[in-house]
Chains A and B, each alone.
Chain A
Amino acid sequence: MKKIIFFLLLLAGSFAKAQELFVYTEPASNMPAKSVAIKQSAKLFDQGTTSSTRHATEIMLGASKNLMIHGAATYGALNNTPFGLESIRAYGKYRFFSADGMYSHFRMAAFAEIAHSNTKPMYQEINLQGDHAGMQAGIVFTQLLHKLAVSSTVSYAAINGNSKAHQLAMGNRAEALNYSLSFGHLILPKKYTSYDQTNFNIYAEFLGQAIPGTRKSYLDFAPSIQLIFKSKLKFNLAYRFNLQSSMTRMAQTSWMLGGEWLFLNAFKK
């Protein structure tokens, strides 16, 4: 709890501008039209006596000013299985509301994703980023206000196919309600003078899941730091830990290290 308060104070106390380039969640804003980004990330799950790693490669595309599309694959060696491809995922997000002010905006977007996974689910937690095959749809709200970016996501996930069969065979439910609340802040530079300045951002994200019809839920807190080089290359380092949980999960704590390269005007219309 102390850690959270420290992080939130850090967010509230810095006199800089906001950032909404969250590490765990997507903001309602999209990438610019005609741009492409490639994201590579590694997650390290602390499972007590052992640990697992999961890698993800994600390609993101700004299809138009309102629509962005992602394609992702996860691979790794989890739960003592040999290293291999685990899942593929397609994601689309449509920004349907935007009210821009000077140094501020409020935006809303709807998203949907579909995932296919080779892995055999072992936990009550439902996760379309590697563990399960299924679909998820939801809404994102993002407010950018000079010094603070706040974003919230609410979504519904339902798993299908073998994932669902395994989950039901274990006596678990095959659907979940996911929600998040994220804060972001720019720490450096204090004053922008060039695109070559390195940006330093901090984020604090609350990530939760509840299984409808049961008392099963979890709530995680994920503080993270981000460096952006030359306004195009991002590095993220995040630590995610459990605040409350009443379900079985792959890990109560995990680390994530990631990089993302943005190519503006990557393709013609």
Chain B
Amino acid sequence: MKKIFLLLICCWTISVNAQVQKVNLQASGLTCAMCSKAIYKAVSAISFVDTVLVNIEASTYDIRFDKETTPKFDQIAKAVVDAGFSVANLTVMVNFDKQAVDKNGSFTLDGINYKLMGTPPTTLQGSKKMQLIGKQYMLPKDFKKIPVAQLGNVASNTYLVSLK
């Protein structure tokens, strides 16, 4: 019985750990609290978003998701743009548990497909930060620095990310 219990605890721990913990969003194009609140409200209204913790001064938003939901990062970016502003940085915080990565850098976690930029490791372990790469997720000056070769060959249902 103890063994089963231990096994259950292990399974529970793994399933909790290996997932997106939260997303850190930094918005650009604003300096006023009214503008910041517009983004806060727009992001909070997204169906899979649970809580949003904001730092108005830094224009950053810590976004946590409802359990049992699959967050869609493109919807977060769209909410910011619809509020009238842009995304400067969108970073996903993940707690990996021996996540296998294929030779192209692709892997799937909680139903979300990712592709790592650069030379990928074979496995991902522990707490990592992954910055989303794409025109809608970065400042134009940062996006220009991304080599064009890295941007090709990414399926539309896959997020291109860079380990930080």
Contact = CB atoms under 8 A, between A and B. Distances in A.
Interface of A: 17-21, 29-35, 62, 64-65, 98-105, 144, 146, 186, 191-195, 197, 199, 228, 231-232, 262, 264-265
A35 to B, nearest CB: 7
B38 to A, nearest CB: 4
Contacts of A262: 34
21 contacts: A19-B31, A32-B38, A32-B41, A32-B42, A34-B82, A62-B84, A65-B84, A98-B29, A101-B139, A102-B59, A144-B29, A186-B31, A191-B57, A192-B56, A194-B56, A199-B33, A199-B34, A231-B33, A231-B36, A232-B37, A264-B37
Contacts of B40: 195
A101 B38 contact: no
B155 interface: no
Contact of A195 (B28, B29, B56, B139): B56
Given A35-B38, A100-B28, A193 B45 contact: no
Given A193-B57, A232-B37, A100 B32 contact: no
A34 B82 CA distance: 9
B82 A195 contact: no
B20 interface: no
Nearest to B82: A33
B81 A65 contact: yes
Contact of A19 (B32, B41, B84, B140): B32
A232 B29 contact: no
Contacts of B45: 265
Given A30-B84, A65-B81, A101 B28 contact: yes
B143 to A, nearest CB: 12
A186 B83 CA distance: 21
A66 B83 CA distance: 10
Nearest to B87: A100
Contact of A228 (B34, B41, B42): B34
A42 B29 CA distance: 32
A232 B34 contact: yes
A21 B57 contact: no
B89 to A, nearest CB: 9
Interface string B25-66: 010111111101110111001000000000011010000000
Contacts of A103: 28, 30-31, 59
Nearest to B54: A195
A192 B84 contact: no
Nearest to A147: B31
B32 A199 contact: yes
B34 to A, nearest CB: 5
User: By CB atoms of chain B within 10 A, which of A30, A32, A186, A193 has the most?
Assistant: A32
Given A29-B84, A195-B37, A17 B31 contact: yes
A149 to B, nearest CB: 8
A260 to B, nearest CB: 10
B107 interface: no
Contacts of B34: 21, 199, 228, 231-232, 262
B31 A193 contact: no
User: By CB atoms of chain A within 10 A, which of B31, B45, B82, B88 has the most?
Assistant: B31
Contact of B29 (A101, A194, A197, A228): A101
A103 B35 CA distance: 11
B131 interface: no
Contacts of A99: 140
A73 to B, nearest CB: 25
Contacts of A228: 33-34
A195 B141 CA distance: 30
Given A35-B38, A65-B81, A265-B42, A100 B33 contact: no
Given A32-B42, A65-B84, A102 B139 contact: yes
B82 A65 contact: yes
